Chains A and B, each alone.
Chain A
Amino acid sequence: MIIRKEFSVLLLLLSLILALLPLTANRSFTAKPDKLLSDVLNEDASFTVDQVAEFIIREDNTVQLIDLRLPEEFRKQAIPGAVNIPYPEFVTKDPEIWLGNKNVRNIFYSAGDIESDYALVYARGLGYDNSYVMAGGVTEWIRTVMETKFTGDRITARENALFETRRRAGEMFTELNNLPDSLKMKFLESKKFSAKKLDGGCE
């Protein structure tokens, strides 16, 4: 009788352990695959370079630009306000360091699109729904913002506003990237520091 009871308790304990076994690995995606796929394929997950240019000239502090390129590329050409987190580092370290502040929209960009798209899915999969991409990356930034030209005799008010945004953002980009290397590094390092400060969640 006692053995029967003991065996029953053992079976019940085993059932409980089975039920409570962690299904996921240490760091697994928390989103549902269907929802994640539909979210990341949605246009709302991307910002255009013009939208990003506007964030930059407004110095919008609800936006954090994350440059996923290698440090050498970042040092050569950085978009004002961006912090550099090379993509291999981004996927291997705990993204909470960079994405933990839920009050900002994290906008990833890379040279083209691919790394920023991976980062978007990776971040959203881990539950950072405040993650977006800048469509086209630096290539598109150069093509649209830096090489924009006023052509034709007439321009609508809307076109004029867009042109003005691009021109001002372009000037900020040129100004930053024309700084002597030492000054530029100081500026980029200070951005890195302020990004870290955000993690503390101060006011």
Chain B
Amino acid sequence: MKFIKQYWPVLPLFLLAVILVLIRTFSQKNFRYDAVKWAEPSAIGSNILTEDQIATLSGEILLISLGNEAAIDRQFQGNTMNINPESILEKTNLMRIRKNNGPVILYSGDNSVSARVWMVLSEMGMKNIYILKKNPA
């Protein structure tokens, strides 16, 4: 109590600074990671999986179909979600992805969409995100 009384003009400023820094640090509204590091899997191709490789993954697999529910393989045994690519950064979707205890696989009829969404999510610091590569027809 004595401490608070002694420093009352300074403490609120200090606490405000701490709160602002915490908000800034945990905010989802910015990229803050090293771009090179998070783009690295794309340079070595380790973020791309084929259907056969998916079968070998461990953990709770979440398959996200980007805008095309019909594209989800009915044989797939894991969790599935159909998300419009433009809405993937909505709070509920991001929470679902972050909370998934295992690999998250992006799938789209158009590989371009999966690749673009992958890069955005990866640069936001999300690990364990992969692209299911569509084989050319």
What is the interface of chain A, defined by CB distance below 8 A to chain B? 4, 7-8, 11-12, 14-16, 18-19, 21, 23-34, 36-38, 40-41, 87-88, 91-92, 112-115, 117-118, 120-122, 125-126, 133, 135
Contacts and interface: CB of A to CB of B under 8 A. Distances in A.
B45 to A, nearest CB: 9
A25 B6 CA distance: 38
Contacts, number: 134
Interface of B: 6-7, 9-11, 13-14, 16-18, 20-21, 24-25, 28-37, 39-40, 42-44, 48, 85-86, 88-89, 111-113, 115-120, 123-124, 131, 133
Given A23-B25, A33-B124, A121-B116, A12 B13 contact: yes
A122 B43 contact: no
Contact of B14 (A15, A25, A29, A88): A15
A91 B40 contact: yes
Contacts of A121: 115-116, 119-120, 123
Given A25-B32, A113-B111, 7 more contacts: A15-B13, A24-B33, A29-B31, A33-B31, A37-B117, A118-B42, A122-B39
